[in-house]
Amino acid sequence: MIVRRFEIFADYFQFYVCDETYVTDTAALWAPASDPMLAVGPDLIAIGTARNMLVPVELEILPAAPTPDLDACDQVRDCGLRLSSGTLIVFGCTDDPDQAERIVVPAGDYAARVSHGGLDTISEDGLDGDDRYRIQLWPGAVRPVTVVKGPA
């Protein structure tokens, strides 16, 4: 199991988890998405955030599917990600992806679980909160987005 923790600047209320050689057009990704908290391309997951600030992000690479931690999360969605290069990066949408930490994993298809927590802790001005974001990946088929918990 690999666990990495980040503080990501969620400019435009989003950040990305993707293959280092991603080709998904992030500018067009949100347009067809009906979910403001998640948009998915074949090699990139765009995670929506509740704040346009630095947010805590936890990434877990697991050997098998985890049990959903529904009590600790406000929203949970399953999806998938193709990591053709075997190198995963996490970065904010206005960050330079070349500067992102590289995480080497076996190349292939991964199932993904994206969890949002603490969404009800955001201050009225949107600057402070205890919101948190967790992405769990494990070897598995790339699948369409499925809402496990939260608004559809």
Average pLDDT over residues 7-20: 96
For residue 89, pLDDT over 90 is answered with yes
Q: What is the pLDDT of residue 30?
A: 86
Superfamily of the domain at 2-149: Competence, DNA-entry nuclease inhibitor, ComJ (2.60.34.30)
Average pLDDT over residues 63-85: 93
- Residues 6+ positions from 37 with CB-CB distance below 8 Å: 47, 48, 49, 75, 77, 114, 116, 150
Please report, for the chain, the start and end positions of each structural domain, with discontinuous segments joined by +. Answer: 2-149
Q: Are 15 and 57 in contact (CB under 8 A)?
A: yes
Q: What is the pLDDT of residue 152?
A: 57
18-29: per-residue pLDDT in tens? 999 999 998 888
Do the bridges between strand 87-92 and strand 103-104 make them parallel or antiparallel, or are there none, so unpaired? Answer: antiparallel
